[in-house]
Structure formats: structure tokens, C-alpha cells
Homo-oligomer: A and B are copies of this chain.
Amino acid sequence: MKEIKSHRTFSGKTSFWSHLSSETKTEMKFSTYIPAGVPKGCIIWLSGLTCTEENFISKAGAQKYLDEAGLMVIAPDTSPRGLNLPGEHDAYDFGSGAGFYLDATVNGYKDHYRMYSYITHELYQIIQNQFQMKNISIMGHSMGGHGALVIGLRNPDKFKAISAFAPIVNPTGCSWGQKAFTGYLGENQDFWKEYDTCELLESGRKHPSQILIHQGDKDEFFKTQLLTEKFVEASRASGQAHEVKYCEGFDHSYYFIATFMEEHILHHRKSME
């Protein structure tokens, strides 16, 4: 694991790292913010389509709140890089920058696009072993909100809390998800369900803590791709504790995320007390 660069920020350090991943068999990058002292825990941040390890750490304004809360954050890249698989670089919503936090089963992709296992096992172990954090939780935005919900619901013992900004909650029911799942998992939709938050809730998966979601009502993807209301329905039906806040006038951007970042960090902080 190599620290590429670091910048003092508030009491701590914003850093960029690279390492050779055993899951993706590529070099993977991630960013961290580590406040001074001994952090009380670490939040994994999963970014959305087209993002790298840099978007969140440079745009979300999270460091101030992480500093105050005494929490670390780790933000990985959104897919393997440096490959040249068929169709990998043709669209913003599939392949590079669009790993969808699943383990691909389709030939070619299955050897590298293993973002579910990368986050759940490999990055998780890096947080435990290299950064020596015990309390770990997960949040994300859009495709990364989908990742946080799926990974958190499937591994309730590993993650203290889950939250999301404008997540894709029902990828099997929207064109982003259908395109990605077909490309990574093939046509058989039975294999898609393990990566769909609403399907997971319906099948009985549950997280012991309340899930926090913010959703802008002027988000251009709200009604077509994110389908946030379906999460509310599925949570109600299954008894999953949740708080979904619709935010008047807000869109899908990092300006929206920055506005509600403090609330999310306090949500995660509370789960680590």
C-alpha cells in the first residue's frame, strides 16, 4: 500500500493511496481523511457513476465534520482501471467508473469487476489491519448509495450504520441497473436480486440500525432511476427502520451532498458510541 500524496486538512490529513488488489487484480486507489488523535471509527464512502477516489474527498466538505466527530473516512475508486475489456470504456454508466459494487459473473468482467468483494472483504480488512479501526460503517451517493445499502444489508454484523444520498434503491427496476446487471451478471434476473436493495428487504434482509437517506425533490434522476419511494415501501413492508428525508429544491449534485453531510456523519458517529 502506497501513500501517493497527502494534504494537512483541519486537524488531520487528507491522503491518496494505491495498492494492488487481490479481488480486481488491478491497482486500486482510494482516498482517506484521518483526523488527529485516535478516530472512533471509519466510514466507507462509495461514490456514484463517473467518479473516482477524488470527488468525495475534494467536494463534499466532509473533513470539517469528520474532524469534529473524530471519525475517519475512506473513499475508494468506483471500478477497476487500466483494463481494456469489451465495451468497458464506451459509456458513462457501464464499465470504468461504473462498477456498481457487484461481483461480475460474465466472462471477461468476472475476473476484475469484483467491487462487492473488494469493498466487503479486501477494503474492510485494510481498514481493520492497516488503519486499525474496529467500528466501520458505510454510506454513498447514487450508484454508491446502492452499494452502501446492498453491502450494509447483506452484512449487518460488519457495518454499524448505513446511510445514502439519492441512492439507486431498485436497480432491477431502472435502466441504469438493468443495463449494468445485464452486462455484469447476464440475462438471468434471478442473479440480480442479491444486488437490489428493495429485493433484499423483501427477502427478509434487515439492518439493526435505522437507515438514513436524503433525496432531493429536484433530482433529475429521482423518478426514473433512483426510485426512492420504493425503498420506503419495501422498508415499511419488511419492518426495516428507516428515515427518508425529501429535500425541497435540491438536485443530484455534490452541493446537495455538502448541505446534508454533517447530519450523515453524526448519524454514523452515533452508531459508534
Contacts and interface: CB of A to CB of B under 8 A. Distances in A.
Contacts of A64: 61, 64, 258
Contacts of A58: 58-59, 254
Interface string A252-266: 011110110000000
Contacts of A230: none
A7 B255 CA distance: 7
A9 B259 contact: yes
B63 A258 contact: yes
Interface string A220-264: 000000000000000000000000000001110111101100000
Interface string A51-63: 0000000110101
Contacts of A218: 8
A29 to B, nearest CB: 17
A17 interface: no
B7 A256 contact: yes
Contact of A258 (B9, B216, B249, B253): B9
